[in-house]
Structure 1
């Protein structure tokens, strides 16, 4: 797996305290993407599912951990690795939220691994990000995306979460800077670069 980030506790991508996993690799290059630095895979991010689980199991066993969110990049970019990862997670949590630029129809028409992933995902949010449709819809980057409750027992919890507050941003301090997590408003990257420049900080433009 090409895993760029593991953050905990993520409170703004699904209900409760979640383990956030960002997988690198995405061919779509959506305009306005909040994570363009994760479009390309990198050798330094390569790690086995076994090693990832060694890191995650202590967190998954915490009473305070409510679930996992997998995003990117695009987790379905390498559906075989995603499938094995989902199988490894299943004994520890059924609440696995996955964001993907693929549509549900594309996944259902994909290869065996891609289709089998759906059996081990709790909630799927599908579809490419379309900046012109970023209108503040809850938990989604743009309104063309859909929420699928693949484990129906999770629906009520998510619906309560979505009606409790608007989209929020959570910032994590990491070794090489700050990671901003959540559903960002339209034009967020440009606004961030502009505001940073006003303060004498030059950010990489992607």
Structure 2
């Protein structure tokens, strides 16, 4: 049985990649980028440890209920959990969903095989957005990236650069849960108040 250590999941979002998606933030990152957009997700410690099979069932339910077209993997740093995420990404592809990956590492670094399971994960990813978030060069013209230094890499034929330009301004989603907790995503961080 495989497990993932998650920081947050949004079952249906339109601000974390093309179309409606399930966004999955993993817990833990070894980088300490000065402008990290999710500093609460950095500690390498158990947060919400979830059985991958449970997450697969939720993604399948999200596909039928919300009509998601894919999943987006964010963090923390997803490549630290590449073996588990590769199984999840492979499952997403098997049911016709796309996979988008955000990483603070450059794609060239990932291809150097520094991370256990990264080759398998990249085989099942359609889009990689790489590079650290830098708050002094905020991106205002492209969807989903926080800063101008971040790059899109299209690893399949499913998408191309036509998805990048912002057509109607920066989009943020706000939610209120049953306990009254307000959260936002897509800004490029998650806020809870």
TM-score normalised by structure 2 residue count: 0.84
Q: SS state of the match for residue 183, structure 2? A: strand
Q: How does 1:87-126 map to 2 (within 5 A)?
A: 87-110=90-113, 111=115, 113-126=117-130
Q: Any conservation in 2 of the 1:23–1:70 contact (CA below 8 Å)?
A: yes
Which 4+ runs in 1 deviate beyond 4 A?
Answer: none
Q: Any conservation in 2 of the 1:60–1:93 contact (CA below 8 Å)?
A: no
In the TM superposition, residue 98 of structure 1 has moved relative to its aligned partner by: 1.0
Q: Any conservation in 2 of the 1:75–1:82 contact (CA below 8 Å)?
A: yes
The structure 2 residue matched to 1:56, chosen from 29, 39, 59, is: 59
The structure 2 residue matched to 1:143, chosen from 143, 148, 163, is: 148
Q: SS state of the match for residue 153, structure 1? A: coil
Question: Which consecutive unaligned segments of at least 5 residues does structure 1 have?
Answer: 193-202
Q: SS state of the match for residue 9, structure 1? A: strand
Flag the structure with higher helix content: 1
Aligned to 1:168: 171
Q: Any conservation in 2 of the 1:8–1:17 contact (CA below 8 Å)?
A: no
Whole-angstrom distance in 2 between the partners of 1:94 and 1:113? 21
Aligned to 1:152: 157
Q: How does 1:176-191 map to 2 (within 5 A)?
A: 177-184=181-188
Aligned to 1:130: 134
Q: SS state of the match for residue 151, structure 1? A: coil
Mark the CA change 1:112 to 1:35 in structure 2 (over 3 Å): closer, same or farther: closer
Q: Any conservation in 2 of the 1:141–1:183 contact (CA below 8 Å)?
A: yes
In the TM superposition, residue 44 of structure 1 has moved relative to its aligned partner by: 4.2
State the superposition RMSD in angstroms: 2.5
In the TM superposition, residue 99 of structure 1 has moved relative to its aligned partner by: 0.6
Aligned residues: 187
The structure 2 residue matched to 1:73, chosen from 72, 76, 84, is: 76
Question: Which consecutive unaligned segments of at least 5 residues does structure 2 have?
Answer: none
Q: Any conservation in 1 of the 2:70–2:92 contact (CA below 8 Å)?
A: no
Q: Any conservation in 2 of the 1:122–1:150 contact (CA below 8 Å)?
A: yes
Whole-angstrom distance in 2 between the partners of 1:169 and 1:86? 25
Mark the CA change 1:157 to 1:59 in structure 2 (over 3 Å): closer, same or farther: farther
Whole-angstrom distance in 2 between the partners of 1:176 and 1:114? 39
Q: Any conservation in 2 of the 1:61–1:92 contact (CA below 8 Å)?
A: no
